[in-house]
Chains A and B, each alone.
Chain A
Amino acid sequence: MDVNEASNAEVRFNKVDVEFTGQPKEYFGIWIVNIMLSIVTLGIYSAWATVRNKNYLYGHTKIDGHAFSYLAKPLQILKGRIFALILFASYAVLTHFYPITILPFILLFIVLFPWLIVKGLAFRLRMTSYRNVRFDFLGTYKETFVTFILFPLVGFFTIYLAMPWALKKIDEYVLSNTSYGQKQVTTYIETSKYYLTVLLTVLVGIVAVVAVMAFMFASAAMDFSTFFGFNVRVDAVFIVVYLPLLLLIKSIYKVRIRNHIFNSSEFSDLAEFKSDMRIVPYTLLQLTNVLAIVCSLGLAYPWAEIRTARYLAFSTQARLNEHADTVLDTMSERQSAFGDEAADAFDIDISAI
């Protein structure tokens, strides 16, 4: 009852809206016109295209009515892309024409890989801001080498028995080194959740293999080819059985792990999150996305992106400290996009969320 109580009491959190307000039609226009301009300018405009697409998606992702911002500048991206292209082209040319040089490249790649990850994550986070405060990644080369190369190797040499543990270590490492201004993420994710989730995907995988086999036998017995005049067995199996099951397995992992990560990570005293994605709706979303993209020869891609973003926002809740106006932006230096672009060129995709 005394005046001090307010400061001693637990921090009060308010539930705030998480929303995604992008419109498929609007985004489609931006997307297709930018692809067109990229082709016409022989790829130079693609840096502008990236920035504009990202700006649209970030600008429509809002927590508590405040949108995220994408801060990277097109020229930064273009420079990064040119460097990455030179690296990638020399890799591709050398390994194509001189097959044996692939060995030193693999070694070089192992050495470079953690560096690419650190640079890529740092760039992505530093170019993201919310309420004028930037995110950051604090990981180092050494820790990244251990987490992204040694731990998965342990997983591999234990006939994958330790792999769920390695996956958890990776997520934990990325999360706990993520910061918003001077606030760092605290995470309590548990190894047991990863084991349970992987076990579930394996069980569904076994069911999937049995189902595909059964389908093959059934269709062989009925002999579809006599109905259609040609052999549709393989395609039918792919669309009816294989694809949904594959997406289901991916969704099980994504949904359970994302929920777990959001529910057990926080910016202490600042923000807490909750995620309640569900496996079946998410699988159906992914399945319809894939079918739409394939049937439209890729034109449905922006629509799929918007739907996914909407679903993710819809399944996320945030609670903010009502006195959250105290986060300071601690960064000012310029950042090269090279790591991020190089990581993209070599198909490394790392994102915990």
Chain B
Amino acid sequence: MKQQLRGTYYFPASNRSQLAKLLVNGDSVNLYSEQQCIFATDTCQLSVASAIPGVAVEVTFADGGKFVAEDRSVRLSLGSVRAERLEKSNKLILASILLVPLLLWFGITVVMPKLAAASVDYLPDSVAQQMGEQTFYALKKTILEPSQLEKEVQLRVVQQWQQALEQLGLPKEKFQLHVFKSDYFGANALALPDGTVVITDELLRLLAEKPDAILAILLHEIGHVQRKHSIRMVAQSLSNTIAISVVFGDIEGLGEVIVGTGAALVQNAFSRNMEREADDFALQKLAELGKPATAFAEAMQSFLAIQERDNKDSDKQETSLIQYLTTHPDIKERIEKAIQYGK
């Protein structure tokens, strides 16, 4: 098998170069310049880079010398052209344009959530414990302040909560309720992965006359804990980040942003699903306690009232309450559902 290529020969370890002709004849390889053989070797003493569309053949010799062909389209039969054939195939390019978005979508919406949900079961309880304790510690240091409500009010809420837990057969030690004042959270309640439940002064004031509504909200929050939502969320955002950085090892700048936005949108949908699950949990437990499902609707209605009041004097700063609502499913939808459940 004979092949002849014109190009440039680069001498080893220096930037000296010379126009040359590369002649491959069976196993022997010779370089000619102006009819003179300037270098002779054989095919075991060189490596040919895997061909890339539109890039000239590059041959590296064992001593560090290099030959680059002049014509960008010729290929040496010594080198591999497998990858190049794929990259030049119009069919595969077209298929990739369709498949890449599909596969990414499938990966982020189906595979990753499944993986995350499955892996959460293997995490030891101590992880949730630690996560909760450390978050609680950090929150107390930053955005939670001591409650300004009267001791009796606080005590009453805690007692009511403990009573409910007892009736439901849920561990009292796990789901300890704490009352805090927080300008950041506004009227809000939250449960940490270890079961610690926090309710804010403002929410208590808002629902002062409706103890069952408070109960409904707290049950919703521990619904997240029971279903390991926050850990699943963390596992998922984590696995997405890692998977994206693995697949797109070299995607830079905007590509990353686009993929990231996609993941964030999925994350939002994911979190709305979680809210529904927590709602269901709360409604079911309310029924077990013999409380009306409308208690839940009532809590939502109070939120709605505030929302509407805020909308009226609009262009005001968004209250933290609205913040709470944006990650939660549409409030009216939830009220409907609670009323339906009641029937």
A-to-B contact residues, CB < 8 Å? 22-23, 26-30, 32-40, 42-43, 46-50, 52-56, 59-60, 66-67, 69, 77, 81, 85, 88-89, 92-93, 96-100, 130-133, 181, 290, 293-294, 297-299, 301, 324-329, 341, 344-345, 349
Report the separation of the CA atoms of residues A130 and B15 in the bound assembly, to the nearest whole angstrom.
8
> Would you call B250 and A92 a contact (CB within 8 A)?
no
> Would you call A325 and B52 a contact (CB within 8 A)?
no
B258 CB, min distance to chain A CBs, angstroms = 5
Interface size class of B (residues with CB under 8 A): 35 or more
> Would you call A301 and B130 a contact (CB within 8 A)?
no
Contact for A132 among B17, B107, B237, B254, CB less than 8 A: B17
> Would you call B15 and A181 a contact (CB within 8 A)?
yes
Also in contact, A32 and B100, with CB within 8 A (given A59-B56, A99-B134, A294-B258): yes
> Would you call A131 and B17 a contact (CB within 8 A)?
yes
A104 CB, min distance to chain B CBs, angstroms = 13
Find chain A residues with CB under 8 A from B89 CB. Answer: 33
Also in contact, A60 and B96, with CB within 8 A (given A43-B247, A98-B131, A133-B14): no
Also in contact, A39 and B55, with CB within 8 A (given A46-B247, A92-B238, A293-B258): no
> Would you call B52 and A52 a contact (CB within 8 A)?
yes
10 A-B pairs with C-beta separation under 8 A: A27-B54, A37-B86, A39-B103, A60-B54, A97-B123, A130-B15, A132-B65, A297-B258, A327-B14, A329-B15
**B140: Cβ under 8 A from any A Cβ:** no
**B255: Cβ under 8 A from any A Cβ:** yes
Report the separation of the CA atoms of residues A298 and B104 in the bound assembly, to the nearest whole angstrom.
13
> Would you call A49 and B245 a contact (CB within 8 A)?
no
**B62: Cβ under 8 A from any A Cβ:** no
Interface hit among B4-12, B166-174, B178-186: B4-12
A100 CB, min distance to chain B CBs, angstroms = 5
> Would you call A96 and B234 a contact (CB within 8 A)?
yes
**B127: Cβ under 8 A from any A Cβ:** yes
> Would you call B15 and A132 a contact (CB within 8 A)?
yes
> Would you call A26 and B54 a contact (CB within 8 A)?
yes
> Would you call B258 and A33 a contact (CB within 8 A)?
no
Closest chain B residue, CB of each to CB of A330: B13
Contact for B134 among A43, A69, A100, A181, CB less than 8 A: A100
> Would you call B248 and A46 a contact (CB within 8 A)?
yes
> Would you call B97 and A85 a contact (CB within 8 A)?
no
Find chain A residues with CB under 8 A from B16 CB. Answer: 325
Find chain A residues with CB under 8 A from B87 CB. Answer: 29-30, 33-34, 52
> Would you call B93 and A33 a contact (CB within 8 A)?
yes
**B221: Cβ under 8 A from any A Cβ:** no
Find chain A residues with CB under 8 A from B49 CB. Answer: 55
Also in contact, A52 and B100, with CB within 8 A (given A66-B8, A325-B15): no
> Would you call A46 and B53 a contact (CB within 8 A)?
no
Report the separation of the CA atoms of residues A130 and B10 in the bound assembly, to the nearest whole angstrom.
10
Find chain B residues with CB under 8 A from A133 CB. Answer: 13-15
> Would you call B52 and A88 a contact (CB within 8 A)?
no
B323 CB, min distance to chain A CBs, angstroms = 17
